C-alpha cells in the first residue's frame, strides 16, 4: 500500500507528530516488509509538485500536524482549502485521515473540523487519532498507535473492494432501542442491523428501553459509598444485558435537542450508582438517529459532542453517528465497526476522556470520605500526583535557544525509535467483559479486587 503523509507541523523535522509517523514507517516498512511511506513537508500551505505527485500515487493520505488554539494550524487549514478548491480531482477518491499528538481536550475541535471538512467535500474520511505526545514513548501508547493504523489500513482496503467484513472471532453486538414510543422506521433499521451483524458472524441482542421499568434517579447519593441503588427495578438487569459479554453497542433513537431523548437519559442517569469512575470497558459504540419535529441540522453536530461526553468517563471507541435513512452510509458504518473490532482497536472516544476525568477527580477528592471508591480509582490513575518542576527549565530568549530546546525534547523519541526491535504486543481486549461491571464497582468501593475471586 502506498501512503502519502503530509506533515503539516510547523516544527517540520523537529515535530513529535512526525516521530509517530516514523514509528509506523519502521513497523510496516521495515518489520513487515510492506507499505511505502512518502513523507512530504506540507507546512507552507501550498500544493507543491511533490505533494501533487504523492497524492496521485497514494492509496491512503495521512495529514499529520499540530493543534493550535484548539484547531488545526492555519497552514494546514489553508492547505485543506486549496486541495479541495483546486485539486479535488486527484483527492476525491482517496481515503484520508488525521494524526496529531497534542492529546488534550482542545483536540476535539481540530479533529471535528478535519472530519467536517472531509465529509462536506465527500471524501473517504477515516476516524482520526490524537495521542498524548508522552504516550508515544510508552508500550500502551505505541500499541494504540499500531492498532489505529491497522484499522486505518483495513478501512482503506474496504473502500477498495466494499466487501462485507467477517468477524475474526466470535463477538456480541447489542442493538439498543431508546425511543419513548414505538417507531416503525427505527424497528425496521434495527432488524436490518441485526441481519448485517449476524451475517458478519456476531451474536446480536435487541434491548428496548421503553419496555423496562426504570425509575428516575432522585439524587439521594446513597449509592456513592456502596454502589448500591435504593431502587429495585429493571435498571440493574438491563445494564447487565447491555454490557455483560458485549463487544459493540449500536444506539437507535429520535434526536431530541441534540440528545437521544428522555428514555435513554433516564437510563443513563442511573449510572450514577457506578460512581464517577464510569465503565472501564473497551466497547465500540455507534449512534443512529432520526430527527424529531423540533430538531434541525445544527443539532446533529452538537449530538456528536454530546455522545463523546456521554462516553467520556469510559473507554469506549465511538465509531460514528449516522442519520437513519441513508442506507448505504449505515451499512458502511456497521462494517466499520466490524473492522474496528477485528483491528483490536484501542480506546479513542473523541479526546474528551481525560478532560472529563480530571474534572471528576477533583470532585472525588473533595468528598473522598463519602466516596472512597471514586477517590481510590482516580488516585490509581495518577490524577493526584504532583509533577515536580524540572531544574533544567530555562527561559528561551531567541529562536536558536528554542530550536535547541526542541532538539533536546526529541532525543527520547529518537532513542525509542532506534530500539523498536519488534512489533507491539497487543493487549487482550475486553479481558473482564464476562464479569459484572456493577460487581466490579462495588468491589472497588470496598477496596477489594474482584478479579482474583
- Kindly report, residue by residue over 45-94, the tens digit of the pLDDT: 899 999 999 999 999 999 999 888 888 899 999 999 999 999 999 998 89
Cβ atoms of 299 and 291 closer than 8 Å: yes
pLDDT in tens, 380-399: 878 888 766 666 667 788 88
Which ranges in 311-421 belong to alpha helices (H)?
327-342, 353-366, 372-380, 399-418
Question: In the prediction, which pLDDT does 6 show?
Answer: 96
Which of the listed ranges 181-195, 296-310, 359-373 does the model predict with the highest average pLDDT? 181-195
Give the H/E segment covering residue 204. strand 202-208
Greater model confidence, 157 or 371: 157
350 pLDDT above the threshold of 50: no
Question: In the prediction, which pLDDT does 105 show?
Answer: 63
Which of the listed ranges 91-95, 152-156, 310-314 does the model predict with the highest average pLDDT? 152-156
**Which residues have a Cβ under 8 Å from the Cβ of 165 and sit 6 or more positions away?**
154, 158, 200, 335, 338, 339, 342
Query: Backbone phi, then psi, for 217, in 5-degree steps?
Result: -65, 135
Please give the span between the terminal C-alpha atoms of the chain, in angstroms, as a whole number. 47
Question: Which residues on adjacent β-strands are paired with residue 124?
Answer: 95
d(CA 194, CA 198): 6
- Domain ranges, ordered by start, for the chain: 2-161, 171-353
334 pLDDT above the threshold of 80: yes
Question: In the prediction, which pLDDT does 453 show?
Answer: 54
Please give the radius of gyration of the chain, using alpha carbons only, rounded to the nearest integer.
23
Let me know the angle formed at the C-alpha of 148 by 3 and 206, rounded to the nearest 5 degrees.
Answer: 130
Confirm or reject CATH 2.40.10.10 for domain 2-161, answering yes or no: no
**Which residues have a Cβ under 8 Å from the Cβ of 171 and sit 6 or more positions away?**
201, 202, 203, 247, 248, 341
d(CA 73, CA 12): 13
What integer is the mean pLDDT of 273-288? 80
pTM assigned to the model: 0.90
Q: Kindly list the distances between the CA atom of residue 356 and the CA atoms of 147, 166, 353, 432, in Å, as whole numbers in the listed order.
A: 24, 35, 5, 24
What integer is the mean pLDDT of 238-243? 94
Do the domains spanning 2-161 and 171-353 agree at the CATH topology level? Answer: yes
Question: In the prediction, which pLDDT does 104 show?
Answer: 64
Q: Is the dihedral of CA 423, 64, 348, 450 positive or negative?
A: positive
d(CA 101, CA 174): 33
Phi-psi region of 427 (alpha: psi -120 to 50; beta: other; left: phi over 0): beta
d(CA 163, CA 166): 9
Query: Backbone phi, then psi, for 287, in 5-degree steps?
Result: -125, 130
CB atoms under 10 Å from CB of 224, counted, come to 19
Spelled out in words, what is the top-level CATH class assigned to the domain 171-353? alpha beta
Amino acid at each position: 500500500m502506498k501512503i502519502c503523509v503530509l506533515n503539516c507541523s510547523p516544527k517540520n523535522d523537529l515535530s513529535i507528530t512526525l516521530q509517530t509517523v516514523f514509528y509506523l514507517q519502521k513497523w510496516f516498512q521495515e518489520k513487515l516488509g510492506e507499505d511505502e511511506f512518502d513523507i512530504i513537508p506540507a507546512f507552507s500551505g501550498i500544493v507543491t509538485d511533490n505533494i501533487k505527485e504523492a497524492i496521485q500515487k497514494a492509496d491512503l493520505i495521512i495529514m499529520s500536524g499540530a493543534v493550535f488554539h484548539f484547531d488545526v494550524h492555519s497552514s494546514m487549514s489553508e492547505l485543506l482549502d486549496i486541495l479541495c478548491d483546486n485539486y479535488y480531482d486527484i483527492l476525491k477518491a482517496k481515503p484520508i485521515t488525521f494524526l496529531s499528538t497534542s492529546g488534550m481536550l482542545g483536540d476535539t475541535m481540530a479533529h471535528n473540523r478535519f472530519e467536517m471538512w472531509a465529509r462536506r467535500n465527500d471524501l473517504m474520511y477515516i476516524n482520526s487519532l490524537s495521542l498524548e505526545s508522552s504516550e508515544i514513548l510508552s508500550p500502551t501508547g505505541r500499541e494504540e498507535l499500531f492498532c489505529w493504523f491497522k484499522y486505518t489500513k483495513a478501512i482503506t482496503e474496504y473502500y477498495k473492494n466494499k466487501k462485507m467484513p467477517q468477524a475474526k472471532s466470535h463477538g456480541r453486538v447489542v442493538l439498543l432501542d431508546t425511543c419513548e414510543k414505538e417507531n416503525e422506521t427505527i424497528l425496521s433499521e434495527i432488524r436490518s442491523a441485526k441481519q448485517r451483524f449476524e451475517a458478519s458472524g456476531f451474536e446480536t441482542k435487541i434491548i428496548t428501553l421503553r419496555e423496562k421499568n426504570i425509575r428516575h434517579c432522585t439524587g439521594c447519593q446513597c449509592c456513592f459509598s456502596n454502589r448500591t441503588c435504593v431502587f429495585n427495578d429493571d435498571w440493574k438487569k438491563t445494564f447487565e444485558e447491555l454490557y455483560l459479554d458485549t463487544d459493540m453497542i449500536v444506539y437507535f433513537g429520535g434526536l431530541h435537542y441534540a440528545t437521544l431523548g428522555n428514555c435513554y437519559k433516564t437510563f443513563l442517569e442511573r449510572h450514577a450508582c457506578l460512581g464517577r469512575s464510569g465503565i472501564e470497558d473497551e466497547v465500540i459504540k455507534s449512534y443512529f438517529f432520526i430527527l424529531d419535529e423540533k430538531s434541525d441540522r445544527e443539532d446533529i453536530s452538537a449530538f456528536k459532542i454530546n455522545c463523546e461526553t456521554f462516553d467520556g468517563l469510559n473507554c469506549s471507541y465511538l465509531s460514528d453517528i449516522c442519520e437513519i435513512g441513508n442506507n448505504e452510509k449505515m451499512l458502511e458504518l456497521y462494517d466499520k465497526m466490524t473492522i474496528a473490532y477485528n483491528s483490536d482497536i484501542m480506546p479513542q472516544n473523541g479526546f474528551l476522556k481525560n478532560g472529563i476525568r480530571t474534572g471528576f477527580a477533583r470532585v472525588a477528592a473533595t468528598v473522598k470520605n463519602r466516596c472512597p471508591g471514586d477517590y481510590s480509582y482516580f488516585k490509581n490513575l495518577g490524577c493526584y500526583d504532583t509533577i515536580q518542576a524540572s531544574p533544567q527549565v530555562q527561559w528561551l530568549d531567541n529562536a536558536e535557544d528554542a530550536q535547541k530546546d526542541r532538539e533536546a525534547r526529541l532525543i527520547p523519541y529518537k532513542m525509542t525509535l532506534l530500539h523498536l526491535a519488534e512489533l507491539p504486543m497487543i493487549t487482550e481486549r475486553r479481558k473482564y467483559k464476562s464479569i459484572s461491571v456493577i460487581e466490579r464497582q462495588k468491589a472497588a468501593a470496598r477496596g477489594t479486587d474482584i478479579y482474583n475471586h
